[in-house]
Structure 1
């Protein structure tokens, strides 16, 4: 069994998201044994990863950073979020009320600490704020969890 966690940027252009989807599917498809994917199910990299895990017959673990997390997601993304959440094999609800940087970082830590590999859809730049992709990568590296960075060459966000 391979336990994979995801962290990554949101608000990707359709072109970048399509390439990220291809990259994620390649990694998930090559993972040895049954795959367990851990995701916060946010729009962007999280959702692409969650769908890829489900498409290979893997188990999806949704880690929700806060009780009001759904309300913080883009309105047009909610049907996708609801569909992915309904297909999750396990749902972990963290005890934070508001989805703030601390809650996001705690969700990332939970996923990373229970995973074999962190997939990071990351442009390699410093974070735009605390608790984001760069911080998740730093946490994984500090814990000795391997990080696979996926970012299309020449892409910008």
Structure 2
């Protein structure tokens, strides 16, 4: 069983989110339920990926960067986050309290280390802050994890 981790942008516009869901679904389809998905369940790419994994009947593992993580997510995302977290077969909770860049990078590293490959919903630009998508992709490449980058052509963040 292959273990696939997700890293990707948050705050995706609805049209972009729908397009990303299609790209993720297409990429994961060959694996069916013979995969394990790892996600931090943030709004955006993480949740889109988690939903596709669960739709495929595959197990989902959650990586939670900090005890204050949920509260740092947008309020409108809490219901989806709670539902996805409740469906996770395993939850990796990091010992951080604050949901800040150091905790996010630690979560990204753990996700990469526990994955066979990484799916990155990434526009290819530098991270907007430490622990962002570009930093997680760079870490995956240092560990020689295969990284597949998905981003809708012509879309800007």
Let me know the Cα RMSD of the aligned residues: 0.9
The residue aligned with 2:8 is 8
The residue aligned with 1:83 is 83
TM-score by length of 1: 0.98
**CA contact 2:20–2:45 (8 Å) conserved in 1:** yes
**CA contact 1:7–1:136 (8 Å) conserved in 2:** yes
Give a deviation string over 1:82-129, Cα, whole Å, max 9, x none. Answer: 000010001110000001111001101101111111000000001111
Give a deviation string over 1:50-79, Cα, whole Å, max 9, x none. Answer: 000000011100000001100000001100
State the distance in 2 between where 1:142 and 1:34 align: 26
State the distance in 2 between where 1:32 and 1:76 align: 30
**CA contact 1:2–1:33 (8 Å) conserved in 2:** no
Alignment of 1:8-157 (within 5 A): 8-31=8-31, 34-157=34-157
Residue ranges of structure 1 left out of the alignment (5+ in a row): none
Q: In the TM superposition, what is the alpha-carbon distance from 1:145 to its structure 2 partner?
A: 0.1
State the distance in 2 between where 1:92 and 1:100 align: 17
TM-score by length of 2: 0.98
In the TM superposition, structure 1's runs of 4+ consecutive aligned residues that sit over 4 Å from their partners are none
